[in-house]
Amino acid sequence: MTTPRHSLWAVAPNDRPRERLERLGPSGLSEAELVALVLGSGMPGVNVLDSARSLLDQAGGVTELMTMTVGELKSLMGVGVATAGRVVAVAELWRRANDPPPGPLLETPQHVVAAVRAHLAARAAASAEGAPAGEKVPASGSPAGGNAPAEGSPAGDNGPAGESPAGENAPAGESPVGKNALFVVVADGELRLRVVVPLPDRGSLVAAVLHEVLYRGGSAFAVAVRPTGHPEPDDGLRATRDVLKLAAATVGLRYLSTVVVTESGWSTLD
């Protein structure tokens, strides 16, 4: 990143980001040009387009950039509180514009299970139709056209799997944290469902959960485990649950529950 700031002025006026935006509309601009418009100006000695490219490279792409917090952005080279604030503000405006309406209350683990089952059903339906599954489900917590559980009523599944006591450990080396599908169920301050988000099977689960909840404007959350092998949670998952409780309290979030959802039933770790 060595291009001096003044080099942007050597570009023909009609080829600069603002002029191209006016002429072509936002869809005609590259990601770097759009980020440059958000930044407004470049870093000392670096033009705004190169600054935007550097920001995208450091973040890992536009999706990663738009999900970063102010603190995460400030850790990048050349990013101060003003730049971080502009990027986060744009991401927040987009999120609010695309927010689903409030969903049903998540008052009990049964409601969390219902939300996860609905999310999985919506993904399966989208996959069968050949469309991207996405990560959001209707805020009602049910697939399009389905019926959500009534508020305050059981989720309508088989209930806790009585034959699967939560106190048993999984076989040595088989940790559900590392081998099973994980989801965070995000709720607002009134405990209404906002979104169910699949979590990546890499890095810190605690950090990933808190990041998703904060980024999506949540105030409370639950964690769901979808076993792909041995259905029993192990001590590693319980330890992670305990850390999540402490971390949530530290950042002002409300931890609701951790549930294990299987084909035939469910259980809770709480």
Q: How many domains does the chain fold into?
A: 2
Residue-wise pLDDT tens digits, 7-33: 666 677 777 888 999 999 989 999 999
User: Are residues 113 and 93 part of one domain?
Assistant: no
| Helix-helix angle 17-24:31-39, to 10 degrees | 120
**Could you list the residue range(s) of the whole structural domain that residue 232 is in?**
109-268
User: Are residues 128 and 227 part of one domain?
Assistant: yes
Q: Report the pLDDT averaged over residues 75-86.
A: 92
pLDDT-above-90 percentage for the chain: 43
CA atoms 211, 233, 226, 104: torsion sign: negative
User: Are residues 138 and 203 part of one domain?
Assistant: yes
What residue has token string 């989720």?
155
Residue 193 has pLDDT above 80, yes or no: yes
Task: Decide if 249 is inside a domain.
Answer: yes
Q: Quick one: three-class SS letters along the chain?
A: CCCCHHHHHHCCHHHCHHHHHHHHCHHHCCHHHHHHHHHCCCCCCCCHHHHHHHHHHHHCCHHHHHCCCHHHHHCCCCCCHHHHHHHHHHHHHHHHHCCCCCCCECCCHHHHHHHHHHHHHHHHHHHHCCCCCCCCCCCCCCCCCCCCCCCCCCCCCCCECCCCCCCCCCCCCCCHHHHCEEEEEEECCCCEEEEEEEECCCCCHHHHHHHHHHHCCCCEEEEEEECCCCCCCCHHHHHHHHHHHHHHHHCCCEEEEEEEECCCCEEECC
Question: 0.85 cut: is pTM over it?
Answer: no
Give the chain's mean pLDDT.
78
pLDDT of residue 228: 76
User: Are residues 143 and 61 part of one domain?
Assistant: no
Task: Decide if 103 is inside a domain.
Answer: no
Task: Decide if 48 is inside a domain.
Answer: yes
Residue 150 has pLDDT above 60, yes or no: no
User: Token pair for residue 50?
Assistant: 């190169």
Residue 153 has pLDDT above 70, yes or no: no
Degrees to nearest 5, angle at CA 94 with 225 and 254: 40
Burial status of residue 228 (CB atoms within 10 A of its CB: 0-12, 13-18, 19 or more): exposed
Burial status of residue 24 (CB atoms within 10 A of its CB: 0-12, 13-18, 19 or more): exposed
pLDDT of residue 234: 65
pLDDT of residue 155: 40
Task: Decide if 236 is inside a domain.
Answer: yes
